[in-house]
Amino acid sequence: MTILTDEEKRSILFKAQSMAGGDKGKKWNLQELGAALRIIEKTLGRKWYQKSGKNLIPKKPTSPPSNYDFLLEKQKLPPITALLRGGLPESYARIVQFASFIKELWNQTNIEEKIREYEHQERRGDISFDHFNRFFFELKVAAFCKRKGLSVYFIPKQQKTTPDLKLTSPQGTTYIECKKKDPQTKLEKEISDRYQKIETMILNNMNKLKLNYFVEITFDKEIEDVDITPAVTIANQNFLKKSKYFKEYLGKISVEGKQLTDYNVVQSSKNIPELPDISIVQHFSWSAETPHVPTRSSDLFKLREIDVPIHNVRIVAIYSSFKHSKVQSILNSVKDASDQLLKSSGYGIVAIEVSLGKNAQAELQQVFDGLPTLVESMPHVSAVIFFIEQTWEEGEFINKRTIFHGYVNPSASKKLPQDIEVALKASDTTPYRSLLDD
């Protein structure tokens, strides 16, 4: 039984074609997103879908906010809203990927039972994006294994601890414990919060003094709470002097600023100064206003490419020589998942989804260098599989793909069935198929 009816497919295609206006790339993306949303609504239920997509369109402000404290607010959005709001292609691709896993597992596993269990847990209160992401990862692992020709069974939650998946092949059975890593470690979140506090305080002072600057701060160290006030003070002292340009050092902190167009003077968005190099900047905040409506967009880079009248452009960018490594955090996740596996089935595979930064290859190598010693003390772990998500762009098409790296534990007390081990080692070359294809 297919999820989408022929009538629904025709409706999705017609709507995509009418919205694309002859643009084939846009039509493809619209039809896949439309099909994905319909699949999610039908399988997870209309009530879940509506709760997950509530407040999708934020209210537009009619006047500029009195200060920049809104940058410190941490708004928790439900999953569909979080992924659709902002119009980011990579977020749309995640929705399509999620729906593709459902479609791939439909009628092939007990995914309907898993969905009902997940949806039941989310009936009370708001829908958690974190919980959704954990569910998402379990579907990803299940689809990965099903693609390898293995029989996949979602193990229902019980009072006692259970693994997440059961894999079966002609030569035997094993279990999988899934562990999704947060995109940021605890330390990364703390550092990001400190950066945001500095940027907000500096922007608030510009606003109070009716000045516009491009401020760049560099930390030749790991930022701590005690570093916030000195960095902000240097910038503010120069604001009071109305310095055209300044660059000052305080130990391992440098603060550089350049005055931009005078307050309320309208200019073309093409004249926005050269922006921070996204490959090296750690964090940055900005704002600009149009003559009639305040602009708050995450994509200052696109604004610079068009010609619209703006005023009061303000930018604060932060750089740092400190490069936080996620290696130990990833290895800790392997241990946590291993402990869960030991409490449940007693043996099996650990599956970890990791999010790596700019030093991805080097960090991944360090993880693999540290694995042998770690799993030597975990004979109940037959193998460890790392799932690393990447955004894949080909022309105008944007998709998500997962690169996986597996490690079979030579110290395992219970070896994997040979056909399962061979299947997990095989390269994954399954091409993407349209969600409208049967």
Domain boundaries, the chain: 6-147, 153-184+326-425, 186-320
Q: What percent of the chain has pLDDT over 90?
A: 60
Return d(Cα 201, Cα 276) in angstroms, integer: 19
**HSE on the CB side for 124, CA within 13 Å?**
1
Give the residue from 325, 321, 421 showing the smallest Cα distance to 367. Answer: 325
Angstrom CA distances, 195 to 198, 282, 283, 316, 317, stand at 5, 9, 7, 10, 9
For residue 293, what pLDDT is reported?
45
Count of Cβ atoms closer than 10 Å to residue 331 Cβ: 19
- Residue with more model confidence, 380 or 401: 380
pLDDT confidence tier of residue 298, bands split at 50, 70 and 90: very low
Return d(Cα 79, Cα 56) in angstroms, integer: 10
Give the residue from 362, 337, 339, 366 showing the smallest Cα distance to 352. Answer: 337
Secondary structure element (H or E) that encloses residue 386, with its range: strand 381-394
Cα separation of the two ends of the chain: 10
pLDDT confidence tier of residue 229, bands split at 50, 70 and 90: very high
The tens digit of pLDDT for each residue in 314-355 reads: 999 999 998 878 888 889 999 999 999 999 999 999 999 887
Q: Is the pLDDT of residue 398 over 60?
A: no
What is the average per-residue pLDDT within 14-33? 90
Q: Which stretch of 84-98, 317-331, 375-389, 393-407 has the lowest confidence by average pLDDT?
A: 393-407
Residue written as token pair 């898993």: 114
For residue 300, what pLDDT is reported?
62
Residue written as token pair 């006030």: 229
Q: Which stretch of 74-88, 111-125, 239-253, 351-365 has the lowest confidence by average pLDDT?
A: 351-365
Return d(Cα 100, Cα 435) in angstroms, integer: 7
Per-chain mean pLDDT for the chain = 88
Q: Is the pLDDT of residue 379 over 70?
A: yes
Q: Is the pLDDT of residue 166 over 90?
A: yes
Distance of alpha carbon 76 from the chain centroid: 14
pLDDT confidence tier of residue 275, bands split at 50, 70 and 90: confident
Return d(Cα 11, Cα 34) in angstroms, integer: 10
For residue 163, what pLDDT is reported?
95
What is the average per-residue pLDDT within 130-143? 94
Q: What percent of the chain has pLDDT over 70?
A: 90
pLDDT confidence tier of residue 287, bands split at 50, 70 and 90: confident
Contacts of 211 (CB under 8 A, 6+ apart): 239, 242, 259, 263
What is the average per-residue pLDDT within 2-27? 91
Backbone torsions φ then ψ of 277, nearest 5 degrees: -70, 110
pLDDT confidence tier of residue 297, bands split at 50, 70 and 90: very low
* pTM for the full predicted model: 0.83
pLDDT confidence tier of residue 438, bands split at 50, 70 and 90: confident
Give the residue from 325, 316, 280, 112 showing the smallest Cα distance to 205. Answer: 316
Backbone torsions φ then ψ of 355, nearest 5 degrees: -120, 110
Angstrom CA distances, 205 to 85, 129, 234, stand at 30, 34, 12
Contacts of 219 (CB under 8 A, 6+ apart): 227, 252, 253, 318, 319, 320, 321, 322
